[in-house]
Chains A and B, each alone.
Chain A
Amino acid sequence: MKADKEKRRMISRDAARRRRRVESEVFAELSRLLPLQQSVQDHLDKPSVIRLTLSYIRMHTLLKGITGKKAEASHAVKCEQVMESGEEWRGCDRGRDDEEKKTDDVEASEETNMFLRILEGFLIVLSTEGDMIYLSDNVSKYMGLTQTELMGHNIFEFTHPCDHEEIRNNLRLTAEEVWCGAKRDFVMRIKGALTHRGRSSNLKSATWKVLHCQGRAKVCVAPSSVSCLLLTCQPLPLSHTLLSTHTFTSQHSMDMRFTYCDQRITLLLGYSTEELLGRSIYDLCHTLDTNCLTKNHLNLCLKSQSVSGQYRMLVRGGGYVWVESHSAVIPSVRPSKSRPGAHQPLCILCVTYVLSGVEEPSLQLSLDQTVHRYLR
């Protein structure tokens, strides 16, 4: 009896083994078909192979509408040209020759690489459910995780839970928005597995990194209309940027009241630095932009960095200017390395760029602008 049982168990084990072997072979074949370097291909585990295959197919579907058309269009033009010039038509039916294609490709790749480098960010293609269908390969520089590790995963696995609702809202695309190529602009926190020296660590010691995401919706024309979001994600560096004369810096307490302002504001907006101390920034801006400022303020409180978008600051004598602020929360005292996590008083550092000249200079909209000041 027992021998029978044993025998049956052995048979089933063998069958299972065979099944697994076949399956592994198919997985291996699939991974070899993926356009990745061999060293990467060999080390992919099964879920990753499927993830990457999915990404590849999805990207292909997404781009099919465009590249197909483009290739046809340029091919058609070339053929026309050849016809007109009366030259012999040599093998135009196969498309442009490989040499040309190669040069174009090399140029495109250099330009794209440079673009991404100067932009200091990476590209991400998100489905409406949040799947990271594609990421440009420089993502490893910012997140410490490689393209192949991330592609196919869902962005919600890597972002701060408190930002999920905002991300979800941004992913929501109505049909109209997609066709108009609606734009998106928001800040989110993502896991970064980089040490402060810039080396990759692993996900265990991941820290939150603040990224500014900007981009637009895209739809592919092909059979199954898939809509997704194309975003560039950039960290927000504040350090060592040359500030022009049309820029001023200011420091605020966490409730956005001025604690310091550099003198350039006097030239730009007419306020003396002393009179600003203790004033709230909300008082100095156009009421219709309150929402913009509030969103900025909330981003700062929650995420520690923010880009404000354009809003209007009132000029002392009348009228207003359009400005944009890039801000961050910093400790008001230099953090000591010995007690990094200790509770420290914080303040907000803003760099404000003035975008326009003074508009409607004769318009006095707020109390501060009137000649006879009510206050004091």
Chain B
Amino acid sequence: MSAGGSDGTADRPADLAADGECPEQAGSSLPAAELPRKRKGDVEERSGTHGQQSVDFQMDDDLSRSEGEDQQVKMKCFREPHRQIEKRRRDKMNTLIDELAAMIPACQPMARKLDKLTVLRKAVQHLKALKVGTGSAFTDTTSKPSILSHDDLKHLLLRAVDGFLLVVSCDRAKILFISESVSKILNLSRLELTGQSLFDFIHPKDINKVKEQLSSSEYPRQCLIDAATGVQVQVDAPARPPLLSTGARRSFFCRLKHSRVVGKQDKHFLPCTSKKKDSSRYCTLHCTGYMRSCPSSQLDSECDGEMESSDLSCLVTVCRLLTPVSHQPPKELTIRPSEFVTRWAIDGKFTFVEQQATTIIGYLPQEVLGTSCYEYFHQDDLLHLADKHRQVLRSKEKIETRCYKFKTKYGSYVSLQSQWFSFTNPWTKEVEFIVSSNQVISGPGHTKDEEAGNSKALQEDTKQIPIIPGLSSGLGTMIYAGSIGTQIANELMDSYSRMNSSPSSGACSPFGPAQEKCPVVSPLTSTSASSREEASGSSSQSQCDSRTAAGASSATSESLAAVSRININPIQGETSQLDLDLVPGLSSFSSDEAAMAVIMSLLETDVNMGQSGDFEDLHWPF
């Protein structure tokens, strides 16, 4: 055999196109596209390390075993998938070569496509040229060779993480070390901060919190979470609190002073500062890290009068600026004055009213909360709005109403137009509430005359009871505004209970006339909530069970099918405050998957814990 590379293809049968494609050398290659589910003798899905040779052997075996026509057929069946594997490998290699050619300046101006060998040779030249350019970064023999120089890595890391490294002593929160990147985050130089007390820069209200995180020996009640059971573990402080020892993890948020000029990207919807005498600006940082004890000889000499050779406890953290959440309005902080958002329960009763509403409807939120929205709708609009109400409860879409009149506190009406969206709990798939985004429609102003005219019209109209389909029975019962919403809600609840529970639940038909005039239904009462929870709990249980029965593979395909309907990503650049298009809700996913993921992640937590303590070999940069 010739030297230079494994040349096992010399014996390959002639009908396999051989353009010099060598079998891959044994090594760390991972053609990860083929998720291995290997079985011996399975030609289809081999990862390719020894594929060639074993296939050859198998084919030989086959040849000797079968005879006649069967032999031909069997060989063909064997080679087909093998040919495909070969083809895939070749295609992949060709793609890689093309990509390489695209990246190398020397290869680009060529009109025709270059052959593989030439591209490779040019790549070699290019790498040599690059090495000369970068100088000593790669000729440094003491440090491990790596794709990126440390400087470059540092630069990239800091760009990705808006943060800095901070080491503080535990006793007085003295800043022992802070990385240079702090100047970008807080606009304070590293020099002015090193050696100072951290408390000088923390928001006054967070000082206690940080104190606690630094020295837990003073706080006897230490709460930890045991992730396996979710139980809080109370640990009474022993003589040498284990939490203070090396490896104990810390994670907390705190606000630090900064003197950054507020730029365009800084308009976060983050906690605002107290607008009192102290006009400092604060930014919120997430600090995660570990406790570490370090011999004080490594620290600067200021404190060596007091401490001799005793170990000093300190906290090493990475402080990271919080990502401004992208679906909150980053650009316009001011909310348009003619818009407000409300939330109602499924029966139309207000459960949440934004403060801007007051300027528009005159009522304070607390005056309106708990009352039905139907009490404020103009009679002319009741029919239309009830219809939309019914629609929104059954639809996953945003429902837009026509322009309608809303009664203000002073008796006049304001013209509004709203978008309603029903929020469905992702797990139970039941509607929990409706969110309404309301805009004032400016038109001809509501003058006093008009109001008088309106109220007259109202008086006339009250003679005529509006017929709302499905609600009024022919018995001529007076429809109270509030009951409209309740009725519609009941219809929905009935449809849920019909769907979920057994036939013995005795649910009444949704469109039957109300036997009781105004059934007191509020899905938010704890009793009904808990019974609903039970119902939904058991229903989701039964749904889970049926899915389990269906098998894991169908569950996966279900969730795969659901992907097309999910759009979790909030990055849409919408200017509207409440992006109601965002989450239409899931149609299906498998709770088995959730269970499996949980088990796996629990196994991971063991790994994480094991990693907490290996700081012995850290060489301190100061």
Contacts and interface: CB of A to CB of B under 8 A. Distances in A.
Contacts of B610: 197-198
Contact of A239 (B93, B325, B598, B605): B605
Contacts of A218: 156, 159
A344 B595 contact: yes
Interface in A201-246: 203-204, 207-210, 214-216, 218, 230-232, 235, 237-246
B201 interface: no
A242 B165 contact: no
A278 B30 contact: no
Main secondary structure of the interface of B (DSSP, over half): mixed
A34 B146 CA distance: 9
Contact of B28 (A148, A162, A198, A322): A148
Contacts of A301: 426-427, 586, 589, 591, 594
A37 B145 contact: yes
Interface string B231-265: 01000000000010000111111010000000011
B548 interface: yes
Interface string A262-291: 100000000000000111101100111011
A114 interface: yes
A257 B537 CA distance: 11
A311 to B, nearest CB: 8
Nearest to A25: B4
Interface string B130-166: 1100111110101111111111111111011110010
Interface residues on B, range: 35 or more
Interface string A112-136: 1111111110010100000000101
Interface string B554-592: 000001101110111111000001110011011001011
B517 to A, nearest CB: 19
A37 B146 CA distance: 8
A77 interface: no
23 contacts: A9-B14, A21-B4, A30-B124, A34-B127, A54-B103, A59-B147, A60-B130, A147-B147, A165-B569, A180-B264, A196-B603, A203-B32, A239-B609, A245-B208, A255-B533, A279-B526, A287-B341, A291-B327, A295-B582, A301-B594, A343-B591, A355-B255, A371-B366
A243 B225 contact: yes
Nearest to B291: A242
Top 5 closest A-B pairs, CB basis? A356-B271, A374-B370, A169-B569, A24-B5, A109-B150
Given A48-B28, A112-B154, 14 more contacts: A16-B9, A35-B146, A54-B100, A63-B148, A66-B155, A113-B618, A118-B318, A165-B563, A194-B604, A292-B327, A301-B591, A310-B271, A351-B225, A365-B352
A110 B621 contact: yes
Contacts of A292: 325, 327-328
Interface stretch (B428-436, B466-474, B493-501, B507-515): B428-436
B224 A241 contact: yes
Nearest to B144: A37
Given A111-B165, A137-B146, A243 B601 contact: no
Interface in A31-59: 33-37, 40, 43-48, 50-59
B151 A367 contact: no
Given A148-B28, A162-B559, A283 B524 contact: yes
Given A288-B341, A367-B370, A330 B229 contact: yes
Contacts of A244: 209, 212-213, 252
Interface stretch (B51-59, B113-121, B302-310): B113-121
A26 B121 contact: yes
A298 B530 CA distance: 22
Interface string B340-377: 01110000011111110000000011100110000000
Interface stretch (B16-24, B387-395, B476-484): B16-24
Given A241-B225, A288-B578, A109 B143 contact: yes
A86 interface: no
B103 A20 contact: no
A355 B256 CA distance: 12
Contacts of A34: 127, 147
Interface residues of A, number: 193
B601 A209 contact: yes
B126 interface: yes
Most buried by B among A52, A184, A196, A256: A196
Main secondary structure of the interface of A (DSSP, over half): mixed
Contacts of B41: none
B65 interface: no
A123 B425 contact: no
A106 B227 contact: no
A315 interface: no
Given A241-B250, A255-B428, A305-B601, A183 B150 contact: no
A289 B154 CA distance: 35
B104 A57 contact: yes
Interface string B259-290: 00000110001111010000000001010111
Interface string B189-218: 000000000000000011011001100100
Given A189-B597, A230-B156, A366 B352 contact: yes
B68 interface: no
Interface string A67-105: 100000000000000000000000000010010011011
Contacts of B130: 56-57, 60
A157 B209 CA distance: 43
Given A108-B151, A299-B568, A346-B591, A45 B25 contact: yes
